[in-house]
A and B are shown apart, each in its own frame.
Chain A
Amino acid sequence: MYVYLPIAEMSVNVILILGMGWVVGFLSGVFGVGGGFLMTPLLIFIGIPPAVAVGTQANQIVAASVSGVIAHWRRKNVDLKMGMVLLAGGIFGSTVGVWLFSLLQNLGQIDLIISLLYVILLGTVGLLMLQESVRAILRRRRGVAQRGRLHEHNWLHGLPLKMRFRRSKLYISALLPFVLGVIVGILSAIMGVGGSFIMMPAMIYLLGMPTAMVVGTSLFQVIFVTANVTFLQAYQNQTVDLFLALLLVVGGVVGAQFGSRFGTYLRGEQLRALLALMVLLVCGKLLFDLVATPGDFYSLQYPVLR
């Protein structure tokens, strides 16, 4: 069952796309992550142009995050003020990111950069996760989790523009969440990820937010940042394939339902190790494709007309 994707300019098997959406949706249901970091490389593997994969994937994350944030909002687990500062950074970062994206696109280097960034990101994340799970499986018994010394004062606390965040019980410089938002915004625009992977540990260990607030607040800002990315990618770079996004959303929503239902019955350690291996596998395949001798030495690309 093949359909033609108008923006990606290729035909794909509907069942395959739905299936991919389901698998990644399942994982994101289990782990509560957007799954963009897996979906974009998968799309690239089946031949979707990387630029289209990124632009479209951002669209899918908007859909996935909206349902998540509602639940957290009801439980009052969103620090709105913190979310707004992160969002301000995120909007700025993602706008810069999309501009960088078009710059690279015009240079004809965007596909290479996307793949390279993914190799770096997935490689780092995958190795760190694997290290964590191997250590846990070896040791089994673990002590009480700690975030190190609380209220440790370092140069980060000397930054200006201090702001009080009631919900998170924090009094920190607004620059910290802003810069974090900028960085994740840029990643969001260039790689089509929500960025919760980096955002969550950064919010906990760097900003010192209570964990109860972290998921809801990061989801809150992800929605608007990825919406901004989708809009700008569509407007500026014409890389959002709505039909592809629709297929991914449908597969993803169904998968996420299964994932969140079964997730609580599964063992965390093994699942985490599995996820780490998958991330590394995807990373390896991307790396291999980057250095392997291509099947055809020349590829024709029409310059972007505007």
Chain B
Amino acid sequence: MDDTPQNTGDDTVGNDEPTRKISHDRVFLVVLDDTPEMQAALTYAARRVRNSGGRLALLYVIEPAEIEPWMSVGDLIREERRQEAETAVGKFSEATAAITGQLPVLYIRDGRRREEIIKLIDEEPSISILVLAAGTGPDGPGPLVNHLVGKVASKMRVPITVVPGNLSDEEIERLT
């Protein structure tokens, strides 16, 4: 999971550049996790933003910790998960900013991943496309794709793009 997307230029990481044409009418949402295929979704969404406008939004869901018999231990687990979330969000937002030239919209939520995704999409009308990546291992495309594309697809407000996890950066570049 540690390979950050290729830095495709010397774009400054940081604030929106006024020179770049930014349209806020289209927001690509990517859900961060630690699977290798997530990188494909991230790259795909970032390149689409760069090539055809829009904005990138990143969601990190902090899964609820198990209830620990010791409360202080439980509190510490929650705190460390939050720190982990902030680190991950920071890392990926910088990596995508290098592609898109603008900082993505960041969401950190507590809860179950599949529920929070749907809740966020319902609460934020600006989100217009959900980009997921399908795992290529023997375990199938992964729980998120299974759930969102399968069971609750009929209830989704936005289209879902499923990026095959084995696409190389060049192939993604060609597609976007």
Contacts and interface: CB of A to CB of B under 8 A. Distances in A.
Contacts of B112: 264
Contacts of B72: 132, 145, 201
A142 B74 CA distance: 13
Chain A residues touching B, majority SS: helix
Contacts of A271: 67
Interface string B66-78: 1111111111111
Contact of A145 (B66, B67, B69, B75): B75
Nearest to A27: B69
B64 interface: yes
Contacts of B69: 31, 33, 129, 197, 272, 275
B138 to A, nearest CB: 13
Interface stretch (A12-20, A204-212, A224-232): A204-212
B122 interface: no
A136 to B, nearest CB: 6
Nearest to B84: A212
B17 interface: no
A6 interface: no
Contacts of B68: 31-32, 200, 268
Interface in A136-193: 136, 142, 144-147
B70 A145 contact: no
A144 B77 CA distance: 11
B80 A132 contact: no
Nearest to B70: A201
Contacts of A272: 67, 69, 71
A147 B73 CA distance: 9
A257 to B, nearest CB: 14
Interface residues of B, number: 19
Contact of B70 (A200, A263, A264, A269): A200
A305 interface: no
A133 interface: yes
B19 to A, nearest CB: 41
Nearest to A272: B71
B120 to A, nearest CB: 19
A256 interface: no
A266 B67 CA distance: 9
Given A31-B66, A32-B66, A263-B66, A211 B71 contact: no
Contacts of A24: none
Contacts of A91: none
A274 B123 CA distance: 37
A272 B69 CA distance: 6
Nearest to A268: B67
Contact of A31 (B67, B77, B80, B84): B67
B67 A200 contact: no
Interface of A: 30-33, 129, 132-133, 136, 142, 144-147, 197, 200-201, 204, 210-212, 214-215, 260, 263-264, 266, 268-269, 271-272, 275
Interface of B: 64, 66-81, 84, 112
Given A32-B66, A132-B70, 18 more contacts: A31-B68, A33-B69, A129-B69, A145-B75, A146-B76, A197-B69, A201-B73, A204-B73, A210-B80, A211-B80, A212-B77, A215-B66, A263-B66, A263-B67, A268-B71, A269-B71, A272-B69, A275-B69
